[in-house]
Chain A
Amino acid sequence: MFFKLYRYSILQTMRQKLTIFWSLLFPIIMGTLFRVSFGDFMNETVVFHQIPVAYVTEEEQFDAFQAVLESLEEEEGLVELILVDREEAEALLKDEKVEGIYQRAVSSAAQNLERETIGIEQSAEDITLTVTKKGINQSILSSVLEQYQRTFQTMEHIAREQPAGIEAAASVIREQCQYLKAGTISDTPKGDVTDYFYALIAMNCLMGVIMGLQSALEFKANLSPLAARRVMASTHRFGILLPDLAAKLTIQFLCTVFSVCYLMFAMQVSLGEKFPLVLLTTLLGSLVGIFWGFFVGAAGTYKETVKEGICIAGMLFSSFLAGMMVGGMYRFLETHMPVVNRINPASLISHALYSLDIYQGYEKYAQCMVSLLLIAVLLGVCGFALVRRERYASI
């Protein structure tokens, strides 16, 4: 029975030209327009340049910070480490051959350096950072030192007791550095352009609101005669509803997958190398879209057109906040109202895709996916609770 009703729901949905236009053709048209508009930016290769930094150490013994810096140089490609004495380091900094100087023994370090511009000296434990200007590279070097200082005790202990474990400990800093590196890449024109495509895919997933809404409208007897006929049948309500929602999720997901494939393979938009996870993200995004529409359809007794308006406006606003219309919106909100990025479905979808592309680890991605799952569960449970009411006050 489930598959019979599922099959008919698939047929019914696929024959709705308008729904298929919005879920399939519209994102493809938008993607093509984006691709044509951003043509040159898309072809630009983004190269992250390692940050040259001098490290002055007078100690002969094993140096944990040096091990961390070497790890960041070899594993992450974040810094280019130059081991020199103090005079040579100062000369390199003056000639702008290095972006900063890390040095041990505060008492002797940097005292003779003429601070021509901005003298920033960070003194904690016994390592300082000296830079002569402000910029992204200097911020990254500063962050590396801060991270190290936070985990200093642990590092020292590991370095002394289990020198082999320093690599594992350094990963804590390295992970943070990935975000710093990602931030610098995002500041490039290509980073902004790719954001548009992430937001476009997010919007594509959320197009499911239209199908979810339709599912609810065809199930509430006080909203349509068709729904009245369905709920009067001798099949349990959820026995009718579940195949319908499953069919709509299938179609929405397939539409989104088609759009993603079109962007990746026809339009040559790079979405990273983790294709299966991209698909998983679109599946969860589609589920959120379907349940969002279903919830709006199930709540209240407003007219169909009003509910359609609410769904489409909500979906567009969500996409706007994710940067669909204005690039850099995600980072703007991250600075001023980060909570919006944590609850906005389109932002979560686009950031999940972004995280897959940029970060090597899955922490950020997992955070986005868990949030999306929670939103889907919340909307789904509330929607089901609302249609569970089986008698109506008026029809």
Chain B
Amino acid sequence: MAKAVIEIENLVKRYKELVALDHLNLTIREGEVFGLLGPNGSGKTTAINCILALLHFDKGSVKVFGEEMQPDSYDIKRKIGVVLQNVAVFEELTVQENIDYFCSLYVKEKSVRRQYVEEAISFSGLEDFRKFFPKKLSGGLLRRLNIACGIAHKPKLIILDEPTVAVDPQSRNRILEGIQKLNRQGATIIYTSHYMEEVEQICSRIAILDQGRCVASGTKEELKAMIKIGEKIHLEAEEMTSEQMEGIRRLRHVYQVDYQNGMLKICCNGGKHNLVHILDYMTKEEISFGRVYAELPTLNDVFLEITGKQLRDSAE
């Protein structure tokens, strides 16, 4: 088993009465792309700030690369790259100057730094914008600059806190490909996002936080196996009587049936050949149907089932 890069044990962080992290336990191993999911205010950013020794916490311990993380753990900090939720660059420095500035906070040797800066520019696709000031960049380019500033010094652990917010699909795709590339080059990644498809695409292991607790963790498959939904079947049907609906509901593994605007949606909890059984029933009942498709549960289903569909809106 790969060695642990981050070990969080019983971490408790309170903001007065609000418990932001409630005995959080997490272990992130070398080489992983670890997705940290959770609704707003679930404690994702607080957890990251505690890992980085920016925040005081009330209880527990945080170890990074096997050592207790302290604000003056400069040797550990050298191995960490951080891409924050908000773009954090100097407005008055150009793209190249910004990357060089942040790289120089980690890398002292001039020739090495120059090489790293060039690689970061190339990695983030900013070659044509190196003399541009941040305010002249589009949202996507700005996000890429933000990432370049965080990874230029070639860290072993990269923490990305919602790096694709307000970014167009092309830029998002580029960023995700870049993250996978960094991982292939040996970096361990911690990735937080609200976009489930992104996390599903790049993360090898995922933890779902809710109200400061880790409510589920594992691989995508493990998480999907935890929830009730096994398969969702959609059929275009012309007319359905309540008796026919009830008949479908009585089929094996079916636990939910909805009919809206000519579309029948059937949820099954596991089992095999569910679609065959449903189509058999439709034929027998002489219900005419059109397009039919089935889908496996997504991470979004996992997320909503585990954290609930109630709206969240509190400070993190």
Instruction: Report chain A residues within 8 Å CB of B187.
Output: none
A361–B71 Cα distance when bound, in Å, is 51
Judge if B97 is at the interface, Cβ distance under 8 Å. yes
**Chain B proximity mask over A214-233: 1 for CB below 8 Å, otherwise 0:** 00000001001110111111
Name the interface size band of chain B: 20 to 34
Instruction: Report chain A residues within 8 Å CB of B149.
Output: 229
Instruction: Report chain B residues within 8 Å CB of A12.
Output: 90, 92-93
Find out whether the CB atom of A225 lies under 8 angstroms from the CB atom of B84: yes
Min C-beta distance of B14 to chain A, whole Å: 10
Instruction: Report chain B residues within 8 Å CB of A395.
Output: 49, 54-55
Find out whether the CB atom of A392 lies under 8 angstroms from the CB atom of B55: yes
Judge if B150 is at the interface, Cβ distance under 8 Å. yes
A11–B49 Cα distance when bound, in Å, is 30
Instruction: Report chain B residues within 8 Å CB of A392.
Output: 54-56
Instruction: Report chain A residues within 8 Å CB of B102.
Output: 229, 233
- Give the interface segment out of A63-71, A234-242, A336-344: A234-242
Judge if A5 is at the interface, Cβ distance under 8 Å. yes
Whether A234 contacts B77 in the complex (CB less than 8 A), given A229-B88, A391-B55, comes out as yes
Whether A232 contacts B54 in the complex (CB less than 8 A), given A5-B104, A8-B97, A12-B92, comes out as yes
A230–B82 Cα distance when bound, in Å, is 10
Min C-beta distance of A392 to chain B, whole Å: 6
Find out whether the CB atom of B106 lies under 8 angstroms from the CB atom of A390: no
Judge if A16 is at the interface, Cβ distance under 8 Å. yes
Find out whether the CB atom of A393 lies under 8 angstroms from the CB atom of B55: yes
List CB contacts (< 8 Å) of B104-134 with chain A.
104-106, 108
Find out whether the CB atom of A234 lies under 8 angstroms from the CB atom of B54: no
Min C-beta distance of A332 to chain B, whole Å: 42
**Chain B proximity mask over A232-264: 1 for CB below 8 Å, otherwise 0:** 111110001000000000000000000000000
23 sample A-B contacts, Cβ–Cβ < 8 Å, listed by A number: A1-B104, A5-B101, A8-B101, A11-B92, A11-B97, A15-B92, A15-B93, A16-B92, A225-B87, A225-B88, A226-B88, A228-B54, A229-B84, A232-B52, A232-B82, A234-B105, A235-B106, A236-B74, A240-B105, A390-B71, A391-B55, A391-B56, A394-B15
B residues bordering A, Cβ < 8 Å?
Answer: 15, 49, 52-56, 71-72, 74-75, 77-78, 80, 82, 84-90, 92-93, 97, 100-102, 104-106, 108, 149-150
